[in-house]
Structure 1
Amino acid sequence: MSLIISFVPTSLGYTLFAIIVSGFVFILTRWSSSKPKGGLNLPPGPPGWPVVGNLFQFARSGKSFFEYAEELKQKYGGILTVRMGTRTMIILSDANLVHEALIKRGALFATRPAESPTRTIFSCDKFTVNAAKYGPVWRSLRRNMVQNMLSSTRLKEFGSLRQSSMDKLIERIKSEAREHKGLIWVLRNARFAAFCILLEMCFGIVMDEASIDKMDEIMKTVLMTVDPRIDDYLPILAPFFSKERKRALEVRREQVDYVVGVIERRRRAIQNPGSDKTASSFSYLDTLFDLTIEGRETTPSNEELVTLCSEFLNGGTDTTGTAIEWGIAQLIANPEIQSRLYDEIKSTVGDDRSVEEKDVDKMVYLQAFVKELLRKHPPTYFSLTHAVTETTTLGGYDIPAGVNVEVYLPGMSEDPRIWSNPKKFDPDRFMLGKENADITGITGVKMIPFGVGRRICPGLAMATVHVHLMLARMVQEFEWSAYPSGSEIDFAGKTEFTVVMKNPLRAKVKPRI
């Protein structure tokens, strides 16, 4: 359920102006990129320019950053260094090194690097589970989220909410299909279903569709606003981005104003039981009102409540939505898999009722399908950025405190040394003990779609419940096929908030009943 944002750039608009300014800085400085500061033995990587490092080499490559990283991995190996302006990135893609760093020496690699000024605006100076430095604030926030919201007992309490949300999703798909000759947009419907579940879990009240859309619009605007800009890597250019900073402050004000209104509605419902007929008995927000933070005398402010609620919503919406889109795409491209999955659902549930959460544990092929889905299509190409609490070594190289430690997920999940025929989508690899993977990474790192170690996504269990249940209901109710009929699915991806299909999937559905 992690908010999938790291310092890894997706694409950066390098204007001629920025290049000229950087060139001017280049002329005025004598800083050398060839000798690491303090004589550190950093991992190998492409030689960079003074000041800008490898920024313009990346820009000129015309590749996305994951393609650039993949190319560098082939040349420099499973641990390498890239300098993006003032930020040094050490990219790990070797499974053994990732296991050593994040599992065996997890506490040392468990903190976060400094944030950009724009992100600090939205994180209340890193007051979130995912952004907080390794220490008392992080421990307090994570413990509260896991114990009070994401434990197995608490998740079961929201079972009826998930079931009703699945019913609404199916009706929404049927309605859209009726209006558009059987065609539906997969991601849009899956996102909406996930977002509605998280909204009610977070605030404990039912919102009308207009309010839901408004909240979703605000959250997406926030994510777009914190997308890395060139001044995040070259702070000397910050004065030339004053309009962007002003816009970020405006977006933050809009976010706070709207979400505080919802927070106050929940507060009134608690103070006056029965006053809000839609109010549930419990929500994530309830755990935050009087939350005690180690080393602090005050409870979270309204702005901090907005930040924590936004993290909860953003963390599980796009990750779930994109997983469903990739999953349906694979079912369309592999009709034999779709048929086999439907047969398992029918044999488990029968013809007279809908799939329930208790059924999922009995569906071994569904579980194998979802595991293969997460291997082949992890929510992001990079896990959330790590940093070390003090300078250390890894793989014979120095890892300085303060640098970005980035974990490149396809480097492991598509490693032919780990997986047989890794390019093939094959759920059977997880059947009958052919291949196995502990996605928590404790017994060994092979695929880590939710991160790993002390900073593993706290919402892993909730996310997998949502994905299993949503896919099962969608396959139970509909037969999925390509549009236009007979066309091939384009599996090209692109990075937005998560890794989405480059060409959004519009599929044709046929009710099975």
Structure 2
Amino acid sequence: MGIWFVAVVSLCISAIVSSLFNLFKKNLPPGPPSLPLIGNFIWLRRPISELEFILRRLKTRYGPLMTIRIGPRKLIFVGSHSLAHRALIQHGAIFSDRPPPPATSKVLNRPRRVISSAAYGPTWRLLRRNLTQGILHPGRVKSYSSSRQWVLSILVSRLKEAFESESSITPIDHFQYAMYCLLALLCFGDKIHETQIKAIESVHRRLLLGFRRFNVLNFCPLLGKIIFRNRWKELMRLRQEQEKSLIPLIRARIHAKQQSISNNIQENDNQQVLAYVDTLIDLQLPEENRKLEESEFVSLCSEFIAAGTHTTSTALQWIMANLVKYPYIQTKLYDEITGVLRNVQHQTIEEEDLGRMPYLKAVVLEALRRHPPVHFVLPHRVTQDIELDGYVIPGDATVNFMVADMGWDPKVWEDPMEFKPERFLGTEIGEAFDITGRREIKMMPFGAGRRICPGLALALLHLEYFVANLIWNYQWIPVEGDDVDLTEKQALTTVMKNPLRVRISPRNS
């Protein structure tokens, strides 16, 4: 007993001394006082949903570069456009790694085998290049125009049926279903049955809704597996359901591809299109010299579908909410569309027409500035100590970028909390606005630098295409007596506090 006591006390003293040494040896960015091992007491009595509100208050005191300690971890928060550009663009290679995956990620994903969390290195380059040069190549994206038309017809039909059976509709449910249909088609190359779409959607939805519940499992996994064993079992069941919904689709696509090869059928024959699964079949992982395992197919396909559905449908809801809230903006957008088409007999707006609609682009960009899909991009990890704004960012720190704050900075944007698409028109910003942030970061809803969202161009296309056609087909009207609520349910994401409910009136019928 005495030996164990001495050992434990020695380890504790060693950890405290080490923490104190690290605390003072480097000129870290400022932040609230903390204790070794424990970190900042403020986090012990605050829910994670209040994190952003607290950071915003701390930013006024400590500046746009802060250090927050949660237990032994050092988290660096960046809330400045210039600092974000210096980090992600000028020192991109150093800021392009990811923190080690948490315990829950090891259940839901094969660690470091999905693009979003893979370590910066050969495997990440291979997976990202495979996505950008394959399924997201501009020529390939154009080949999916018929898929978007099919999904648009589903969305318009569902909205019509919902409105005919109810006095008002909740569009977010229909937006999400449409995006799942579209991304599943891009992923598996076939029009998936509704029951399969619902199964995929159900798992993803429960994972999103359970994020905070499952996140507690990451703080002390060994102890948590005992204390929260039922929650661990729930997480394991969700992974099994994820595999159950995706593996049959993956196997069917691989079998169909093999049959095509054996029958010497070319991609363009029989109206075949390249699916995301097709691009994964022959990938050879460079660091292990092997092909992907089935569980890795599941993780990559799940990442592909989830990344293109939740963020796009959420952004779509915010756009339509603002167009309902401000009918004069909706009218101006509709007038632009009619001016481009010049023929009310058009049933749909073609993708080729979108390039002649600058106000449409301005509406989408303004929504992404005012309501970015997430308020923080995925955390970065620096690969070595580096100086930023006179402070040292240590190599073991996790770096977070405050996306929403950058889009709401009054030093950059006039009346930043107002919805003004006109700010993206004219010579100062206009069509030349660089949302990638290569020249200068003014907002970064898709991130920036080497880890920028690879689906940026596809997401913008989807938003413009569906917004234009939704406005072309229907007039969107607020429910009588209801004020469109543009407040957010929680700080970390832009989920609406009260889901948008509207009435729609068919146009051009």
Question: By the TM > 0.5 criterion, same fold?
Answer: yes
How far off is 1:494 after superposition?
A: 2.7
Query: Structure 1: where are the runs of 5+ without partners?
Result: 1-24
Distance 1:189 1:66 in 2: 30
Q: Check conservation: 1:331, 1:337, Cα contact below 8 A.
A: yes
* One-letter code aligned to 1:362: R
Any idea what SS the aligned residue of 1:131 has?
coil
Distance 2:24 2:292 in 1: 41
Distance 1:87 1:492 in 2: 32
- Report the equivalent of 2:448: 452
Q: Alpha-carbon deviations, 1:44-87, whole Å to 9, x = none?
A: 11113443323654643796222122111122111001112233
Q: Check conservation: 2:95, 2:383, Cα contact below 8 A.
A: yes
Any idea what SS the aligned residue of 2:495 has?
strand
2:256 to 234, 244, 269: 269
2:53 to 61, 67, 80: 67
Is 2:505 the counterpart of 1:510?
yes
Q: Alpha-carbon deviations, 1:253-284, whole Å to 9, x = none?
A: 22223311111111222233599xx9943200
| Cα separation, partners in 2 of 1:71 and 1:34, compared to 1, 3 Å | farther
| Cα separation, partners in 2 of 1:203 and 1:375, compared to 1, 3 Å | same
Following superposition of structure 1 onto structure 2, how do residues 174-323 of structure 1 map, counting pairs within 5 Å?
174-181=160-167, 183-224=168-209, 227=212, 229-234=215-220, 237-238=223-224, 239-273=226-260, 280-323=272-315
- Report the equivalent of 1:148: 134
Distance 1:453 1:173 in 2: 38
2:482 to 487, 490, 509: 487
Q: Check conservation: 2:488, 2:497, Cα contact below 8 A.
A: yes
Q: Check conservation: 2:375, 2:491, Cα contact below 8 A.
A: no
Q: Check conservation: 2:104, 2:215, Cα contact below 8 A.
A: no
- TM-score of the superposition, structure 1-length normalised? 0.89
Of residues 375-384 and 260-269 in structure 1, the stretch that sits farther from structure 2 once superposed is: 260-269
Distance 1:107 1:63 in 2: 31
Higher relative contact order (CA 8 A, sep 6+): 1
Distance 1:201 1:472 in 2: 22
Aligned length: 485
Any idea what SS the aligned residue of 1:269 has?
helix
| Cα separation, partners in 2 of 1:38 and 1:249, compared to 1, 3 Å | farther
* One-letter code aligned to 2:419: F
| Cα separation, partners in 2 of 1:445 and 1:58, compared to 1, 3 Å | farther
How far off is 1:496 after superposition?
A: 9.1
Distance 2:41 2:272 in 1: 50
Q: Alpha-carbon deviations, 1:91-136, whole Å to 9, x = none?
A: 0011111000000010010000111111122220120111001000
| Cα separation, partners in 2 of 1:236 and 1:302, compared to 1, 3 Å | closer
What RMSD, in angstroms, separates the aligned Cα atoms of the two structures? 2.5
| Cα separation, partners in 2 of 1:498 and 1:284, compared to 1, 3 Å | farther
- Report the equivalent of 1:111: 97
How far off is 1:510 after superposition?
A: 1.1
Following superposition of structure 1 onto structure 2, how do residues 458-477 of structure 1 map, counting pairs within 5 Å?
458-477=454-473
Q: Check conservation: 2:65, 2:78, Cα contact below 8 A.
A: yes
Query: Structure 2: where are the runs of 5+ without partners?
Result: 1-8
Distance 1:508 1:86 in 2: 52
How far off is 1:167 after superposition?
A: 1.5
1:351 to 320, 341, 344: 344
Distance 2:236 2:221 in 1: 18
How far off is 1:355 after superposition?
A: 0.8
Q: Check conservation: 2:324, 2:476, Cα contact below 8 A.
A: yes
- TM-score of the superposition, structure 2-length normalised? 0.90
Is 2:38 the counterpart of 1:52?
yes
* One-letter code aligned to 2:248: G
Distance 1:236 1:100 in 2: 39
Q: Check conservation: 1:204, 1:282, Cα contact below 8 A.
A: yes
Distance 1:426 1:115 in 2: 39
* One-letter code aligned to 2:435: I
- Report the equivalent of 1:19: none
Distance 1:69 1:144 in 2: 37
- Report the equivalent of 1:430: 424
Is 2:413 the counterpart of 1:419?
yes
Point out the structure with max Rg over C-alpha: 2
Please identify runs of 4+ aligned residues in structure 1 that moved more than 6 A.
32-35
Q: Check conservation: 2:31, 2:67, Cα contact below 8 A.
A: yes
Q: Check conservation: 1:269, 1:279, Cα contact below 8 A.
A: no
Any idea what SS the aligned residue of 1:184 has?
coil
* One-letter code aligned to 1:283: A
How far off is 1:35 after superposition?
A: 6.2
Distance 1:202 1:428 in 2: 36
| Cα separation, partners in 2 of 1:253 and 1:62, compared to 1, 3 Å | closer
Of residues 225-234 and 89-98 in structure 1, the stretch that sits farther from structure 2 once superposed is: 225-234
| Cα separation, partners in 2 of 1:281 and 1:410, compared to 1, 3 Å | closer
More helix by share: 2
How far off is 1:433 after superposition?
A: 2.2
Distance 1:55 1:346 in 2: 58
Is 2:300 the counterpart of 1:329?
no
Distance 2:171 2:45 in 1: 32
